Structure formats: C-alpha cells, structure tokens
Amino acid sequence: MLPYLTECYFNASASTSGFTLADKPRKKAAASMVRLLNAEDTNCFTFTSGATESNNWVFSSLAKSHKTGRILLSAVEHPSVTAPADELARIGFDVIQIPVDTQGVVHLDALQEALREDTILVSIMAANNETGVLEPIAEIGHLIREHCPNAIFHTDATQAVGKIPIDLQGDWEEVDLLSFSAHKFHGPKGIGGLYIRQGLDIHPLLLGGGQEKGLRAGTSNTAALAGLAAAASEASSSKFHKLCDLRDTFESCLLYEFPAATIYSRDALRLPNTSFFSLSGVHGEEMVASLAGNGIIIGTGSACSSGAIQFSKTLQAMGIEHKLAISSLRISFSKYSTIKDIEFLVNKLKTIHREQC
Ligand code: PLP
C-alpha cells in the first residue's frame, strides 16, 4: 500500500494511468478476487468501501428496477442487509424473514414455501457474524432456481471470503451477487466490493466520473486496492483450517474449566475461527471490558444502549433465552493466534469469572 500513499499518488482513472501504473492495484485486486472465489472474469468485481455499501447497493438497485415485489431474507442477517430491506418494506415491498433452527441454520422448508412467483430477491448470508454458522448456499441456490428462476440470489459473504473455499463456477454457481470486505481477511478497512455475475445488470450506485465501469463513480482508493490485492492473494482457506484445531482446543479447555458453558451452533457447520458461547452468571459486557483491560479483545452478543440491554438478534432467532444471551461472549481467532493465546485467554476467563461471580 505504501507506494500508493507516498509516491504513486496519480489518479488511477486518468488517461495517463498507462504510464503512471496507478491503475495497477485495481487490476491486481480484481485478478486476486477472481482466483479467491473462482469467478468468471475480473469484470465481475466492482470495488466499494466495503460490505455495508455493497449490501445497501443491492437494495437500492432493486428499488430502482421494481415498484414492488417479494424479498426473502434469513432471520439472522447483518444490519447492513436488514436496514435497507426495512427501507424497502416501508415503501411497499413485501419483505419476509426466513426462520433459522436452534443452531442458526436457515430452514430450507420455510424458504421453499416462501419462494413464490413474485420473489425478486433472496438475500442470505454465507456465514453468520456471531455464531460463524455457514448457511447452505449451494442448496439455497438450487431451491431458488427450481422455484423462482428469475429471482436474484445475493449473499453477504463478508465473514466467509478467505476463510472457506468458495467456487462461484462450481457449487455456488447460482449466486448472482456477493458482498465482501477486505478487512475480514487481513486487508485494510474501508475497501471491499460486490461480485456481479456476468450478464446481470444492476443500476449504478454512484453517478459521476464513470469509474468502476460506470457503476460506482469516484476516484479509486489505490492504496486500499493494493492492500486488498495483497490480502486476497495471501488468503487461502487451507490456512484457516489450522484455526479449526485451535478453536476446538479452546472449546475443550473452556468446557473443562466451565462444564456448564453453552457453546452455540456447535452441531452445525461453522467458520473455523469463531467461537460463540455463554457462561451463566457472567455479564457479557462486563467480561468484555475486563478482558480488554488484560489485552484480550473479544465481543459479546448483548449490548447496553441508552440504558436498555439489546440482545443478539441471532441468538433471539435461534430461540436462546435472554438470561443466557446476556452472558454471551464471541471469540474470533486469526491466523496469528497461538496455543499460548488460548491458555492466556482461558486463564483470564477463569480469574475474572471467580472475581465477578
Ligand atoms: N456483513 C457482515 C456479515 C459483517 O460481519 C459485516 C461487518 O462486520 C458487514 C456486513 C459490514 O462490513 P463493513 O463494516 O466492512 O462494511
């Protein structure tokens, strides 16, 4: 990224880019994404500021091409999908949430039942941002093609890209649109994109200078694109497999120290780097703050906003009681995590738990 911040500060879309090479990071980013996702062509990628923008774009484009219609979402989507879907519901679209089972996996029977002729979009995430559960994207794609061949299939794959094998010309060939963010696979923040299947037309997001094939105008963020290109070419799901061992070791240690711990979605296919669990008697937010004081940064499934506690929508959709959800903790391991980190974490959890409970 540094050369594009310190030396090559030229405009990537100027007519001189052939000389300045300022357009090189974009080309590399598109080529790396093609390899990572086995996409058809570099032209399938439009770069955005990240998945929030890409997800919003899917809905804003739909609102331009349709006046009404049926939209199906899973009950555990990220707010960057549910909020724009709510907007469309307000202006007359029929937005239906498909329930998930106790593990957080979308009910395929309910999806099949909801797939009516007037369905224009199905948006179901590839991997959940809290539980790490992998939704059955290939099966969902086949159901959509069988029952609603003209519906657009979008998947928010922000948590999945770089962590599991994805094959857009293989078992994910029914996916039409796919959102991603580079920072989820060790790239920089503020860059990501939308994969648009070859031949699918969507309305431009931003009009102006015609950048990104006329779909998203604005001067390219060349440094961030260089970062995305490097991260995407280094990302390989095989590296994340070793995280499975680390995550499983962590969960075994956790259950040894806290036999009553509830580990969510343990019976479903999950991302290799995610562990989401509840320790009864623990207050999630307080534990997160105490661990942060010890240099351990993790998440919780409940948040206190304006004096009221908000519970994880994902846990609610899975039917988890509030009193358990309040004590939920979410750990994401990275390729830099080690067994020593796990020992340190479990020890700190034990010490703080003893102090708090
Ligand atoms: N979708 C999912 C599933 C996410 O986990 C996130 C961020 O954590 C987003 C969308 C939004 O990504 P960004 O903040 O990079 O726009």
SS3 per-residue string spanning 135-192: CCHHHHHHHHHHHCCCCEEEEECCCCCCCCCCCCCCCCCCCCEEEEEHHHHCCCCCCE
Rounded to the nearest angstrom, the distance between the alpha carbon of 18 and the centre of ligand 1 is 34
Point out the ligand 1 atom lying closest to the alpha carbon of residue 52: 16
Is the C-beta atom of 212 inside 6 A of ligand 1?
no
For residues 105 and 133, the answer to whether their CB atoms sit within 8 Å is yes
The residue type at 324 = L
CA distance 233 to 244: 21
Q: What is the DSSP letter of 106?
A: B
Half-sphere exposure of residue 186: CA atoms within 13 angstroms, side-chain side: 16
Is the C-beta atom of 52 inside 6 A of ligand 1?
yes
Q: What is the pLDDT of residue 308?
A: 65
Q: What is the pLDDT of residue 330?
A: 95
Q: pLDDT tens digit string along 200-246?
A: 999 999 999 999 999 999 999 999 999 999 999 999 766 677 889 99
CA distance 321 to 13: 53
Token pair of 306 as six digits = 């304006």
CA distance 248 to 277: 13
Rounded to the nearest angstrom, the distance between the alpha carbon of 51 and the centre of ligand 1 is 5
Model's pTM, two decimal places?
0.96
Name the closest-CA residue to atom 8, ligand 1: 129
Point out the ligand 1 atom lying closest to the alpha carbon of residue 189: 15
Q: What is the DSSP letter of 321?
A: -
Rounded to the nearest angstrom, the distance between the alpha carbon of 163 and the centre of ligand 1 is 15
Q: What is the pLDDT of residue 295?
A: 94
- With vertex at residue 251, the alpha carbon angle to CA 74 and CA 108, rounded to the nearest 5 degrees, is 20
* Residue 244 annotated among the catalytic residues of the structure: no
Point out the ligand 1 atom lying closest to the alpha carbon of residue 49: 16
Name the closest-CA residue to atom 14, ligand 1: 52
Q: What is the pLDDT of residue 10?
A: 86
The residues of the chain scoring below 70 in pLDDT are: 237-239, 302-308
Q: What is the pLDDT of residue 273?
A: 93
Q: What is the pLDDT of residue 302?
A: 66
Half-sphere exposure of residue 179: CA atoms within 13 angstroms, side-chain side: 26
- Catalytic annotation, pick one of 8, 44, 304, 357: 304
Which pairs count as long-range contacts for 25-29, CB under 8 Å and 24+ apart, including other chains? 25/220, 25/222, 25/223, 25/225, 25/226, 25/228, 25/229, 26/220, 26/222, 26/225, 28/225, 28/226, 28/229, 28/233, 29/225, 29/226, 29/228, 29/229, 29/232
Mutation test of ligand 1: which of 47, 48, 49, 52 has the most ligand atoms closer than 8 Å to its C-beta?
52
CA distance 325 to 142: 34
